[in-house]
Amino acid sequence: MKRKIITSLIIIGIVIVILILLQNTLGNFKLRILNLAGIYVIFAVSMNLINGFTGQLALGHAGFIAVGAYTYTLLVMDSDLKSMNFFLEPIVPFLSSVHWPFLPAVIMGGLLAGLAGLLIGAPVLRLRGDYLAIATLGFGEIIRTVFTNTQSITNGSLGLKAIPMPKSFLFIEMKNAFTWWVWTAVIITVIFHFLLVSSSYGRALKAIREDEKAAEAMGVNIFKHKVWAMVISSFFAGIGGALLASLMTTIDPLMFRFTLTFNILLIVVLGGMGSISGSVISAVVVTILMEWLRFLDQGFMGLPEIPGLRMVVFSTLLLLVVLFYPRGLMGNEELSWNKITKMFQRFHMQPREVRK
């Protein structure tokens, strides 16, 4: 246990050092990709909790992200910005004068998303497999449609523009405060999920994944555990959504179509269902890869400009991984010091010893 704490502290330290280095060296555009990668880590890890660890194929993530994003945006905007945005139909009076600071707004986004998770999870988590998938996907779409049609609360399909970015981190004003917020959230999310899945609660979730009937026979309250997993998962999705809104500075309902859910699901699968470290690595790699592949769209090696080629290449890569490496990067195991050292030992040791 002590060793675990030390390792985690070391990892956090390394992440902070890397962040300090990156902040001072990267330009604005690359920093933005770094932030986006962090946000996708939050999405992927939270989705992995319900899909990978609990084994419930829930596809409503985009809806929870939307709840978080809209809650954050409506709380954090001041009345001037709101009146600028709501030119077609005025905002409902009780929201017009609300103006919260960054952190409470983000947390409120998470809480409301969690509440949405509870309201949706309680009825639909009685379903299983594909039925659960399609029902949660449906709820995600319903949330989006509601946001499109409630003109006086969400500004409908016009979306909300000029969402402010935080200028200070923990009351300290600094240049890249937002990056620090994002990656603090990432570290908290990852640690929380690590602790969660290694607790007795997490073992109950894995038991549900492996065999629901056996878990029930062992005294696990299946329904309660599933709903809690859903609530926690949607809470973090909401936090990520709030950060996404802040990063993008504009949001509209079309951003939260189920394509977003699929993107996150793909990241989770590539990293390995049931592996937090896998999700982290895959979220960062995929986000960077998606940006790096942009050169395909702009024409290269004498090829003309072909918009959309990037996504074709990306989806081909994805299909290849799913077809030939279906367990994903990490399967359902975690990256650990033991493993890394073992991996290095493998290179040095005699083959006979490796087999053992």
Partner 1 sequence: MTLQEFLQNFANGISLGSLYALIAIGYTMVYGILRLINFAHGEMIMVAAYIAFYTVFIFSMPWYISFFIAIIITTIVGILVERLAYKPLRSSPRVTILISAIGVSFFLQNLGIVLFTGRPKAFQVPTLFSQVYTIKGVNIVSLTFFIPTITVVLLILLVYVINNTKIGMAMRAVAKDYDTSSLMGIDVNKIISVTFGIGSALAAIGGIMWSMKFPQLTPTMGLMPGLKCFIAAVLGGIGNITGAVVGGFILGLTEILLVAFLPDLSGYRDAFAFILLILILLVKPTGILGEKIAEKV
* Burial degree of 14 (CB within 10 A; 0-12, 13-18, 19+): exposed
Q: Which of 266, 280, 283, 284 binds partner 1 (CB under 8 A)?
A: 266
Nearest CA to 235 out of 63, 146, 124, 109 is that of 109
List the one residue from 311, 340, 349, 354 that touches partner 1 (CB under 8 A).
311
Determine, following the binding rule CB under 8 A, whether residue 254 of this chain makes contact with partner 1: no
| Interacting residue with partner 1 among 70, 75, 141, 159 (CB under 8 A) | 141
Residue of the chain from 1, 172, 301, 323 that contacts partner 1 (CB under 8 A): 323
The helix (H) or strand (E) run that includes residue 169 is: strand 168-169
Q: Contact with partner 1 (CB under 8 A): which of 326, 333, 345, 346?
A: 326
CA-to-CA distance for 347 and 341, rounded, in angstroms?
10
Tell whether residue 79 is a contact of partner 1 (CB under 8 A). no
Contact 283, 44 (CB under 8 A): yes
Query: Nearer to partner 1 by C-beta: 42 or 137?
Result: 137
| Contacts to partner 1 from residues 22-51, by CB under 8 A | 51
Residue type for position 44 = A
Q: How far apart are CA 71 and CA 76, in angstroms?
A: 9
77-85, 121-129, 167-175, 230-238 -> range binding partner 1 (CB under 8 A): 121-129
Using CB under 8 A, pick the residue from 93, 219, 304, 308 that binds partner 1.
308
Is 129 a binding residue for partner 1 by CB under 8 A? The answer is yes
Dist CA 40 CA 280 (whole Å):
8
Task: Return the CA Rg of the chain.
Answer: 21
Instruction: Output 128 or 342, the one with its CB closest to partner 1.
Output: 128
Tell me the number of residues near partner 1 by CB under 8 A. Answer: 41
Selection from 121, 316, 339 nearest residue 222 by Cα: 121
Phi/psi at 168 (nearest 5 deg)?
Answer: -130, 150
Of the candidate residues 33, 289, 318, 335, the single one contacting partner 1 (CB under 8 A)? 318
| Residues 6 or more apart in contact with residue 11 via CB below 8 angstroms | none
| Residues of span 46-75 touching partner 1 by CB under 8 A | 51, 57
**If residue 173 lies in a helix (H) or strand (E), which one and from where to where?**
strand 172-173
Query: Binding partner 1 by CB under 8 A: which of 88, 97, 101, 131?
Result: 131
Binding site for partner 1 (CB under 8 A): 51, 57, 123-124, 126-127, 129-131, 133-135, 137-139, 141-142, 145-146, 148-149, 213, 262, 265-266, 269, 273, 306-309, 311-312, 314-316, 318-319, 322-323, 326
